[in-house]
Amino acid sequence: MVPIQCILHPTDFSQSSDYAFRLACSLARDHGAVVVHLHVMPSFRVYGGEMGAVVVPEHDPDTLLEKLHDLQPPGALRVEPRVEEGNPVTRILETAEEIGCDLIVMGTHGRTGLTRLLMGSVADRVVRKAPCPVLTVKAPLRLKESEFSHVLEGATAP
């Protein structure tokens, strides 16, 4: 068995990211690993309009760090929240190298067709360039909180 001591979980706070976080925590509990819970915020966003481009800064890093702290799982599991700024793919890969993670567990939105072509896939690019194995997780469509709380608690599925 490959030893897993450090798991990187990049999040965009979506449902698939939440499900991936629960799976990362479950794996970390089983392997005695630490989870690095990472959110990458772009430096800014540019919105175009008739009057020209408007640059809108992203959320405050301290607010995002608090949001990550609020997502701590129950029990003695060690989770280290981090907020980085920059290109999500680049920062995820740099963080993976920096912390020497053994596994990246991340959600995927499952986009297809034109949406995927236009927006790309962060998960896709991370899978191709990561220095370690990557587990991508797509949350089931009709998943309810009660149906997947067992993942984190270690109980069997209902």
pLDDT band at 99 (very low <50, low <70, confident <90, very high): very high
pLDDT band at 2 (very low <50, low <70, confident <90, very high): confident
- Helix (H) or strand (E) holding 66, with range, is helix 61-70
Number of domains in the chain: 1
Domain that holds residue 144: 6-153
Look at residue 158 and tell me if it is in a domain. Answer: no
Look at residue 1 and tell me if it is in a domain. Answer: no
Q: Report whether pLDDT(156) > 50.
A: no
| Bigger pLDDT: 53 vs 32 | 32
Q: Output the CA torsion sign for 126, 36, 27, 66.
A: negative
Give the number of residues written for the chain: 158
How many CB atoms within 10 Å of residue 107? 26
pLDDT digit string (tens) for 34-85? 999 999 987 665 555 555 555 455 566 677 777 777 777 767 788 999 989 8
Q: What is the pLDDT of residue 155?
A: 41
Look at residue 122 and tell me if it is in a domain. Answer: yes
Q: What is the pLDDT of residue 14?
A: 84
The token pair that represents 9 in the structure block: 């979980």
Q: What is the pLDDT of residue 110?
A: 58
User: Secondary structure of the chain: what % helix, strand, coil (to 5)?
Assistant: 40, 25, 35
Distance, in Å, from the CA atom of 92 to the CA atom of 139, rounded to the nearest integer, reads 21
Domain CATH for 97: 3.40.50.620
Q: Report whether pLDDT(130) > 50.
A: yes
